[in-house]
Amino acid sequence: MSLVVQKYGGSSVADGEKIMNVARRIAKTSENGNQVVVVVSAMGDTTDDLIKLAYNVCENPSSRELDVLLSTGEIVSSTLLAMALKSLGAKSISLTGAQAGIRTDNSYSKARITNIDPRRVVRELEKGNIVIVAGFQGMNEEMDTTTLGRGGSDTTAVALAVSLEADKCEIYTDVAGVYTADPRIVSQAKKLDEIGYEEMLEMSTYGANVMHPRAVELGQIYNIPILVASSFLESPGTLIHGGIPMEGRNRVTGIAQDLNVAKVTIVGVPDKPGIAATIFERLANAGISVDTIVQNASIENITDLTFTIAKSDLAPATEIVKPIASEIGARDCIFDPTVGKVSIIGTGIQTSPGYAARMFTTLSQEGINIMLISTSEIRITCIIKEDKVKDAVRALHRAFELEQA
Ligand code: ADP
Ligand code: ASP
Ligand code: MG
């Protein structure tokens, strides 16, 4: 008997009819002789609606209360799915993240899973139950509820697959798999049959929200192949795995975009040791990740320091950066929330020259100004104006001939 972990995203369980559709698919997997653990997201836009509710009653909601509130979305869908399965005659039980043994650190709203105690899930499987686990949540040492960051149910699924030593980990969503670009932006985007962990990790970290980056990272660390496929169609999907043949490796695989970006510039910074350390240490202590850091060459010992953060971190970052800027004697700081990122990703970038040139030429032909550039071995990212991001994605998809992938 195989053990299968399946995850169904928010749009796949958006209403009663869709929950019944998902329940039928799960029941079929179980009838085919598999043990099944299901991770489920909150219905449709529930998480966004809960966030709005919180901000309706409070300008600055407590992160602890917010995490408990958001975790309820997944609890609603998991209980409904368990009921739907029972109505089909299948034995099923729902568990919260805490009941499923998911333990996390204390970083509310972006907690990391520290450990999973799978005993309860295993017991329920042994009783013949299909186990439905509420995604996106866990419990910290204080027994408080934490959430794993937007899109975090994918990570719940892969972490459970690791902990249960599952035979399969399947992520079901509202598209047929991983595409060469977001199919909602590029209508000619092509579904990939397979993609390597490294490329998928760069894609999702730089905005392809079809997979939560931490889920891909766990898949890579524990070498668990992850299937991404449609919860509405019977189609083969995309397999994320580590054994991609060399032939598939020498090109750009995909384009990603991210609109959750803000740019911070500290102007007129004295160029002396310790300044960058002070700024980035305090941001890190507040759990704010910094990306794309650029420091200009200094003129008369004065320089400018620019970096990007998630737009959703802009308010706390402003509170941290402003006092440091005056402490260090900087002239000014500028916060720009109107930027976005566009990235080309592919293992070919590391071995063949010319990709950067083609990217920059394409953007310039579209009249798009590049503000900042960052690279990894297999990725080139440009920070551009937010309202140009979609045009940039389409132009780059054409320039790298990805519609012929
Ligand atoms: P779920 O609710 O199932 O977790 P998400 O909305 O988180 O679904 O992720 C699926 C969405 O990811 C798709 O609807 C698509 O718009 C978006 N997406 C972004 N980039 C890609 C890509 N490269 N391939 C497929 N989907 C992508
Ligand atoms: N419901 C959460 C979100 O909307 C988690 C998830 O869907 O994976 O981000
Ligand atoms: Mg998702």
Under-70 pLDDT residues of the chain: 246-250
Out of 136, 155, 174, a domain closes at: 174
Are residues 152 and 276 located together in one domain of the fold? no
Output the CA 246–ligand 1 centroid distance in Å: 27
8 A C-beta contact, residue 228 and residue 177: yes
Residue type, 361: T
Q: Is 151 in the pocket of ligand 1 (CB under 6 A)?
A: yes
Output the CA 183–ligand 3 centroid distance in Å: 15
Are residues 164 and 259 located together in one domain of the fold? no
pLDDT in tens, 85-111: 999 999 999 999 999 999 999 999 999
Are residues 393 and 259 located together in one domain of the fold? yes
Question: Helix and strand tally (H, E) in the chain?
Answer: 11, 18
What local confidence, expressed as pLDDT, does residue 248 receive?
55
Q: Is 108 in the pocket of ligand 1 (CB under 6 A)?
A: no
Q: Is 11 in the pocket of ligand 1 (CB under 6 A)?
A: yes
Out of 132, 159, 174, a domain closes at: 174
What local confidence, expressed as pLDDT, does residue 249 receive?
54
How far apart CA 136 and CA 77 sit, in angstroms, is 12
Q: Is residue 249 part of a domain?
A: no
What local confidence, expressed as pLDDT, does residue 244 receive?
80
Output the CA 264–ligand 3 centroid distance in Å: 28
Gap between the terminal Cα atoms of the chain: 37
Are residues 292 and 167 located together in one domain of the fold? no
Are residues 26 and 127 located together in one domain of the fold? yes
What local confidence, expressed as pLDDT, does residue 250 receive?
57
Q: Is 209 in the pocket of ligand 1 (CB under 6 A)?
A: yes
- Report residue 342: phi and psi, to 5°: -125, 135
Q: Is residue 24 part of a domain?
A: yes
What local confidence, expressed as pLDDT, does residue 360 receive?
97
CATH of the domain at 327: 3.30.2130.10
Are residues 17 and 119 located together in one domain of the fold? yes
> Of the residues 48, 171, 179, 182, which should be mutated to test ligand 1's pocket, given the most ligand atoms within 8 Å of the CB?
182
Nearest atom of ligand 2 to the alpha carbon of 74: 1
How far apart CA 286 and CA 302 sit, in angstroms, is 27
Q: Is residue 352 part of a domain?
A: yes
CATH of the domain at 145: 3.40.1160.10
Output the CA 8–ligand 2 centroid distance in Å: 11
The count of domains in the chain is 2
> Of the residues 173, 180, 403, which should be mutated to test ligand 1's pocket, given the most ligand atoms within 8 Å of the CB?
173
What local confidence, expressed as pLDDT, does residue 52 receive?
98
Are residues 20 and 168 located together in one domain of the fold? yes
> Of the residues 52, 74, 77, 210, which should be mutated to test ligand 2's pocket, given the most ligand atoms within 8 Å of the CB?
74
pLDDT in tens, 245-266: 765 555 899 999 999 999 999 9
- Report residue 236: phi and psi, to 5°: -70, -20
Atom 11 of ligand 1, nearest CA residue: 210
DSSP characters over 123-185: HHHHTTPEEEEESSEEE-TTS-EEE--TTTHHHHHHHHHHHTT-SEEEEEESSSS-BSS-TTT
Output the CA 44–ligand 1 centroid distance in Å: 13
Instruction: Give the burial class of 245: count Cβ atoms within 10 A of its Cβ; 0-12 exposed, 13-18 middle, 19 or more buried.
Output: exposed
Are residues 260 and 387 located together in one domain of the fold? yes
Out of 114, 147, 174, a domain closes at: 174
Output the CA 175–ligand 1 centroid distance in Å: 7
Note down the domain range covering 81: 3-174
| Alpha helices by DSSP H, 254-385 | 275-285, 314-327, 355-365
What local confidence, expressed as pLDDT, does residue 246 receive?
60
8 A C-beta contact, residue 161 and residue 3: no
Q: Is residue 202 part of a domain?
A: no
Are residues 399 and 294 located together in one domain of the fold? yes
Q: Is residue 154 part of a domain?
A: yes
Q: Is residue 7 part of a domain?
A: yes
Q: Is residue 179 part of a domain?
A: no
Nearest atom of ligand 2 to the alpha carbon of 42: 1
Nearest to 133 by CA among 90, 74, 46, 69: 74
Are residues 259 and 156 located together in one domain of the fold? no
Output the CA 215–ligand 2 centroid distance in Å: 13
The β-bridge partners of 265 are: 306, 334
Q: Is 182 in the pocket of ligand 1 (CB under 6 A)?
A: yes
Q: What is the DSSP letter of 351?
A: T
Q: Is residue 378 part of a domain?
A: yes
How far apart CA 40 and CA 111 sit, in angstroms, is 18
Output the CA 388–ligand 3 centroid distance in Å: 24
| Alpha helices by DSSP H, 185-331 | 197-205, 213-222, 275-285, 314-327
Are residues 259 and 160 located together in one domain of the fold? no
How far apart CA 205 and CA 283 sit, in angstroms, is 19
How far apart CA 68 and CA 1 sit, in angstroms, is 36
- Token pair for residue 328? 């260090």
Nearest atom of ligand 2 to the alpha carbon of 150: 9
Are residues 26 and 156 located together in one domain of the fold? yes
